[in-house]
């Protein structure tokens, strides 16, 4: 495996981010952006205490974000643990909403490959449309890039028709150079999406990390013509930040990536904040979380 | 020798335990009645108010779950701190047009009022609670709980005693507050924030904004995450607006009109009760 290491200018990345994030999106453009954000959300529940009831409730919310507001899109997908896939699939029958399942011993990835592949096959058989795998960070940091690449390729094969999102867990990769390298390896090995984090490690998706991953996607597209998707996850709970990310995609990858086929937000509380902002825009009154579904 | 240039204070807002400038970058030129001193006062915006409500909401859980005794101690502490900053308030009240005697009287009264509400902070609950007779095997009782986040439009005319008289009963009841300071005389209000800041009042419990009442009253009264609004003033148009907007999320509107805040009859435990909600509990008992 070719492991060309891009040296990332960390200060430059920070500066670029702060320039992109200073854009002000207002009025009609803001409402449009907020709707786009909603349609890109992977509504997520990944807790040890998840119950069928909670998953069903979340599925209902995915399809009915806030029925008082007309013309709202639905979210792109529901993201759950493997044992909840069948329940989510059934609850979402008749909608366009995908079911994404984390797999490969999420969030640590610390089981043998054989078990990971079985897990992936199981969630696909249960009906998962998308699989979110984690890479073996220990191996990656130990320099075993071929192992990481082979593992991703095997999981991709096990996925069959299901889309594969590869979680780099950038909070454990230490440097931006590593983020870039892991992105390159994941894309070459068959990832349909690259994803920042599990949400279980802090820091999760930070803006410079997302920028570097977007640039990796751009370079890969220029080289091969293949469009890889991007999913920042973890810690994105405010509408303002999500709009800033839209600006970042538009400026780095262009209009083609501004849809749910190629960009997702992994989030649980973002949807409510976006809904509160949309309602604020249409009524002029600041909103309270009391009047939105709890999740 | 060259005369030393005084270092003047920048008057800022008080939000979430910090002293930010207004996010809008706008200022109001305030000039004292003798036209000798000019001060830039932040012209707070609706976004400053929004940020303050977020801070107040975050602080609510911690403040309302403190023991009543502890809240009482902290109110007492505010009084102590105000006592220690007497000379600073003297200067500002005189600058705002008070006579020396009137300024001294206002400061004394403000300290006394804080101590008064400090005393009530751990007593109002037993006074306003009751046991209700019911014809069923239940022990039925009602007691007051804090309303939540309260927005307040402080009196225009008396900048220190007015602010203290509004804020003290609200926080004594376990609520958090976002208060718009006197538009005519805002100096004391921001200095009072410095007193709060050194009195163990956690950040966000009291937030103080300055700015134009006419510009901010709409948001103060309509915000859905505010649970009660206290309005001080006599403008019937403003009172109507506050009451109508309060209906949006059924927040409790409390209007204090034609009050002389220097008068002792403007302090009473019922002003604490105004921003409390009564909860009734049915507890099963054996017959």
Tens place of pLDDT per residue across chain A (295 aa): 556 778 999 999 999 999 999 999 998 999 999 999 999 999 999 999 999 999 999 999 999 999 988 889 999 999 999 999 999 999 999 999 999 999 999 999 999 999 999 999 999 999 999 999 999 999 999 999 999 999 999 999 999 999 999 999 999 999 999 999 999 999 999 999 999 999 999 999 999 999 999 999 999 999 999 999 999 999 899 999 999 999 999 999 999 999 999 999 999 899 999 999 999 998 999 999 999 987 7
Residue B238's nearest CA partner among B213, B258, B260, B261 is B213
CA distance B218 to chain A (A): 9
Residue B12 forms part of a structural domain:
no
Residue B242 forms part of a structural domain:
yes
Question: Which residues on chain A are in Cβ contact (under 8 Å) with B222?
Answer: 284-286
CA distance B249 to chain A (A): 9
Task: Verify whether the Cβ–Cβ distance A286 to B248 is below 8 Å.
Answer: no
**pLDDT digit string, tens, across residues B219-236:** 999 999 999 999 999 999
Residue B95 forms part of a structural domain:
yes
Question: Which residues on chain B are in Cβ contact (under 8 Å) with A290?
Answer: 224-225
A289 interfaces chain B, CB cutoff of 8 Å? yes
Task: Verify whether the Cβ–Cβ distance B225 to A285 is below 8 Å.
Answer: no
CA distance B213 to chain A (A): 17
Residue A118's nearest CA partner among A148, A155, A147 is A155
Residue B6 forms part of a structural domain:
no
Q: Quote the ipTM score.
A: 0.84
Sequence-separated (6 or more) residues with CB below 8 Å from residue A289: A272, A276, B225
Q: CA-to-CA distance for B40 and A255, rounded, in angstroms?
A: 45
Residue B243 forms part of a structural domain:
yes
A286: closest chain B residue by CA = B223
- Convert B219-255 to b/e letters by CB count within 10 Å (16 or more is b): bbbbbbbbbbbbbbbeeeebeebbeebbeebebbbbe
Residue B142 forms part of a structural domain:
yes
Residue B22 forms part of a structural domain:
no
CA distance B225 to chain A (A): 4
Task: Verify whether the Cβ–Cβ distance B53 to A285 is below 8 Å.
Answer: no
What CATH number does residue B108 fall under?
A: 3.40.605.10
Residue B264 forms part of a structural domain:
yes
Task: Verify whether the Cβ–Cβ distance B223 to A289 is below 8 Å.
Answer: no
Interface subset of A 239-278, CB within 8 angstroms of B: none
B49: closest chain A residue by CA = A286
Active-site positions of A read 132, 195, 231
Range of the structural domain that residue B35 is part of: 27-284
Q: CATH says A10-291 is which class?
A: alpha beta
> Count of domains in chain B?
1
């Amino acid at each position: 495996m070719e492991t060309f290491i891009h040296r990332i200018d960390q200060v430059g990345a920070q500066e670029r981010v702060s320039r992109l994030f200073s854009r002000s999106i207002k009025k009609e453009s803001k409402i449009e952006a907020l709707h786009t954000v909603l349609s890109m959300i992977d509504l997520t529940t990944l807790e040890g205490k998840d119950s069928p009831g909670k998953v069903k409730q979340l599925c209902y919310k995915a399809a009915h974000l806030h029925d008082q507001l007309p013309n709202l899109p639905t979210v792109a997908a529901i993201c759950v643990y493997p044992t909840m896939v069948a329940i989510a699939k059934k609850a979402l029958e008749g909608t366009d909403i995908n079911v994404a399942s984390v797999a490969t011993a999420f969030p640590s990835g610390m089981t043998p490959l054989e078990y990971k592949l079985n897990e992936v096959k199981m969630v696909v058989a249960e009906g998962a449309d998308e699989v979110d795998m984690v890479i073996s960070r220990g191996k990656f940091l130990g320099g075993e890039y071929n192992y990481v690449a082979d593992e991703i390729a095997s999981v991709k094969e096990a996925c069959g028709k299901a889309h594969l999102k590869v979680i780099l867990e950038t909070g454990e990769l230490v440097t931006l150079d590593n983020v870039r390298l892991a992105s390159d390896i994941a894309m070459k090995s068959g990832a349909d999406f690259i994803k920042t984090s599990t949400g279980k490690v802090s820091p999760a998706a930070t803006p410079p990390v997302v920028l570097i991953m977007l640039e990796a996607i751009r370079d890969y597209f220029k080289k091969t013509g293949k469009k890889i998707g991007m999913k920042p996850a973890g810690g994105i709970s405010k509408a303002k930040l999500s709009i800033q990310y839209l600006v970042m995609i538009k400026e780095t990858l262009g209009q083609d990536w501004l849809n749910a086929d190629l960009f997702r937000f992994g989030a649980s509380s973002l949807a409510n904040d976006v809904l509160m902002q949309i309602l604020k825009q249409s009524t002029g009154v600041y909103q309270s979380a009391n009047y939105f579904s709890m999740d | 020798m060259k005369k030393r240039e005084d270092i003047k204070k920048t008057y800022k807002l008080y939000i979430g335990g910090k002293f930010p400038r207004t996010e809008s970058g706008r200022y109001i030129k305030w000039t004292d009645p003798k036209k000798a001193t000019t001060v830039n006062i932040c012209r707070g915006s609706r976004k400053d108010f929004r940020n303050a409500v977020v801070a107040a909401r975050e602080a609510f859980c911690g403040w309302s779950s403190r023991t009543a005794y502890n809240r009482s101690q902290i109110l007492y502490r505010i009084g102590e701190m105000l006592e220690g900053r007497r000379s600073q308030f003297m200067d500002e009240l005189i600058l705002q047009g008070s006579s020396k005697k009137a300024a001294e009287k206002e400061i004394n009264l403000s300290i006394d009022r804080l101590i008064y509400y400090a005393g009530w902070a751990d007593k109002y609950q037993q006074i306003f609670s009751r046991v209700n007779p019911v014809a069923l095997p239940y022990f039925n009782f009602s007691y007051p709980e804090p309303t939540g986040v309260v927005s307040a439009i402080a009196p225009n005319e008396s900048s220190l005693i007015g602010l203290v008289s509004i804020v003290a009963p609200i926080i004594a009841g376990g609520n958090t507050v976002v208060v718009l300071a006197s538009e005519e005389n805002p100096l004391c209000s921001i200095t009072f924030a410095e007193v709060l800041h050194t009195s163990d009042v956690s950040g966000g419990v009291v937030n103080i904004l300055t700015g134009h009442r006419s510009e901010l009253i709409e948001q103060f009264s309509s915000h859905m995450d505010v649970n009660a609004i206290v309005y001080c003033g006599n403008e019937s148009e403003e009172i109507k607006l506050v009451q109508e907007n309060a209906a949006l999320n059924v927040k409790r509107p409390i209007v204090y009109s034609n009050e002389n805040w220097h008068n002792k009859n403007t302090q009473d435990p019922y002003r604490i009760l105004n921003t409390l909600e009564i909860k009734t509990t049915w507890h099963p008992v054996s017959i």
